[in-house]
Structure 1
Amino acid sequence: MVMATTTSTASTASLASVTLEVADPEAAHRFYTAFGVDTRIRLRASEAHSSGFRGFALALTVSRPATVDGFVGAAVDAGATVLKPAAKSLWGYGGVVQAPDGTIWKVATSAKKNTGPATREIDEMVLLLGVEGVKASKEFYVGRGLTVAKSFGGKYTEFAAGEADPVKLALYKHSGLAKDLGVPADGAGAHRIILGSTDSAFTDPDGFAWEAAA
């Protein structure tokens, strides 16, 4: 059994923003407005080559299955591809879609039954980074000033976020994340994502680039 560890030490650095690199920022803006997350991400034009799994996903946690269906339906109507249809599981209810720009999104809830109508509210947004070594990457990020909130051995680590931070950061084993999303783990080229740091610019061991947030 993998035991979780937690800590409440105050963080000196955090994830301040997420910028997706897309071929067509205007088209991407239309999609993310329809999807309902346009105020939570940034977009930047890029023609950098990328193929296969880019090594990350963005996850939305919502209150109930009807809200999951609403977000998934809005994404599909706006041009997204379904990677995993929304369905019940041992942990709740959720589905996975891929935006036209290639970014993978997971929408999920821990609730298995609806206790009210669908809303457009997002309880939490988490950036899942697929890394080769969760423990090593955790140590790297702790060294950069991030605080561990949850840790499940070498499988998953989640960092603390302030109330004003729009996105939480979590580390997932690369192969495990790909499996959870329903895609092959192989990929090549750019990650097509830039992370905004409340501290200085750096690049992590898996090639994810951070820049000082404006």
Structure 2
Amino acid sequence: MTSIAAVTLEVADVAAAERFYSAAFGLGSQVRLRASEAATTGFRGFSLSLTVANPATVDSFAASALAAGATSLKPVTKSFWGYGGTVQAPDGTIWKLATSEKKDTGAATREIGEIVLLLGVDDVKASKKFYVEQGLTVGKSFGGKYVEFATAGPSPVKLALYKRPALAKDVGVPVDGSGSHRLVLTGTDAPFTDPDGFTWESASSLTPAP
């Protein structure tokens, strides 16, 4: 494994989720959907981030997500790091919309620069070691606080690790949660579950997105 081949969100209503992601973010094959009734409560331990070029694009995605039925967790605003906000999709997935720019340099483009999957983990250093042993290459590392892995080939999503309490605080939700993560990652030779219970499946099982 050198990178994520696919990210699959498990949702109660696939058709409704497809309508939401198409209307909110224009997502197609980057994120897949799968029907699931697995029990889950509270924070699921992960978030997905859309990084874009400018504040106008953040505003555009936030507005379309809210219009499509998302809930605002953190309204878009300027911060030390740039400009952004957080929403929760009707299926429960948390999305962060952000740019490093604080001032608009043009109109909204609706173009996504990068999708980042942030896993909230108990021990960043231990999870980093685990994923390196699975074949991932570290791109950025800040001790026991944050790790970002390099992508390879046509990977649609970048993987990063953050301490679970810090991630919950960053996206604006209580840290407590239990049950299924409602998330499956693909990109391995053999299936496995990581130290924090996130499930990976073999890339050989990957079927073309509809």
Q: TM-score range by the shorter chain?
A: over 0.9
Match of 2:50 among 60, 72, 86: 60
Per-residue deviation, 1:44: 0.4
Per-residue deviation, 1:37: 1.8
* Equivalent in the alignment of 1:79: 69
Distance in 2 of aligned mates of 1:31 and 1:18: 17
* Equivalent in the alignment of 2:182: 192
2:3 aligned with 1:24, yes or no?
no
Task: Tell me whether 158-167 or 169-178 shows the greater mean CA deviation.
Answer: 158-167
Q: How many residues are paired up? A: 203
2:106 aligned with 1:124, yes or no?
no
Per-residue deviation, 1:21: 0.3
* Equivalent in the alignment of 1:148: 138
User: Would the aligned equivalents of 1:13 and 1:199 in 2 still touch at CA under 8 Å?
Assistant: no
Distance in 2 of aligned mates of 1:135 and 1:93: 29
- Once the two structures are superposed, residues 20-50 of structure 1 have per-residue CA deviations (whole angstroms, 9 ceiling, x without a partner) of 0000000000000012223310000000000
User: Would the aligned equivalents of 2:2 and 2:152 in 1 still touch at CA under 8 Å?
Assistant: no
What is the aligned-residue identity percentage? 67
Distance in 2 of aligned mates of 1:39 and 1:121: 15
Match of 2:129 among 124, 132, 139: 139
* Equivalent in the alignment of 2:158: 168
Per-residue deviation, 1:163: 4.1
* Equivalent in the alignment of 2:192: 202
The alpha-carbon distance between structure 1 residues 179 and 186, as it changes in their structure 2 partners (threshold 3 A), is same
* Equivalent in the alignment of 1:106: 96
- AA of the residue aligned to 2:182: R
Match of 2:2 among 7, 13, 26: 13
- AA of the residue aligned to 1:196: T
Structure 1 runs, 4 residues or longer, greater than 6 Å off:
none
User: Would the aligned equivalents of 1:161 and 1:168 in 2 still touch at CA under 8 Å?
Assistant: yes
Tell me the secondary structure at the aligned position of residue 15 of structure 1: coil
* Equivalent in the alignment of 1:41: 31
Q: CA RMSD in A?
A: 0.8
Distance in 2 of aligned mates of 1:80 and 1:122: 18
Per-residue deviation, 1:133: 0.2
Distance in 1 of aligned mates of 2:121 and 2:132: 15
Q: TM-score with structure 2 length normalisation?
A: 0.95
Distance in 2 of aligned mates of 1:101 and 1:37: 15
Q: TM-score with structure 1 length normalisation?
A: 0.93
Task: Tell me whether 47-56 or 157-166 shows the greater mean CA deviation.
Answer: 157-166
Task: Could you tell me which runs of 5 or more consecutive residues in structure 1 were left unpaired when the two chains were aligned.
Answer: 1-11
